[in-house]
Amino acid sequence: MKSLKLKATAMTVGTAIVTALPRLAHACATCGLSDGDPTFQAYKTSALFLVASPYVSFAAIGGVTYLFYRRAQRNDRNSTPPPGDKH
């Protein structure tokens, strides 16, 4: 039981230190960078592409599927003779 309390205390102190000193913990890639820094801009741009890529992929697949569906519908309409036409 003592070792569990000691571990919990050590984790709490470690978390407090990491939270209080982000430079020490290297909390994120942009900590300590200014807004005009090219590295900061590159990081933001790469994060944007990583977040947007699944949506773009889904939209592209959905668009192609929709186009194939519409083309199949148009081909079915053009290939079937109207009712009453006996050729």
Q: What does the pLDDT look like over 48-62, one tens digit per residue?
A: 999 999 999 999 999
Residues 16 and 49 in one domain: no
30 contacts 43 by C-beta, under 8 angstroms: yes
The runs of H, that is alpha helices, within the chain are: 2-20, 22-25, 38-79
Residues 27 and 38 in one domain: no
How many whole angstroms separate alpha carbon 20 and alpha carbon 39? Answer: 24
The band of 29, judged by pLDDT with boundaries at 50, 70 and 90, is low
Residues 14 and 37 in one domain: no
Lowest-confidence region among 13-17, 47-51, 71-75, 83-87: 83-87
Mean pLDDT across the stretch 9-37?
74
DSSP one-letter code for 34: -
Residue 15: give the domain boundaries.
Answer: 1-32
State yes or no: pLDDT of 63 exceeds 90.
yes
Burial state string for 28-48 with b = 16 or more CB within 10 A and e = fewer than 16 = eeeeeeeeeeeeeeeeeeeee
Structural domain count, the chain: 2
Residues 48 and 21 in one domain: no
Residues 73 and 42 in one domain: yes
The band of 64, judged by pLDDT with boundaries at 50, 70 and 90, is very high
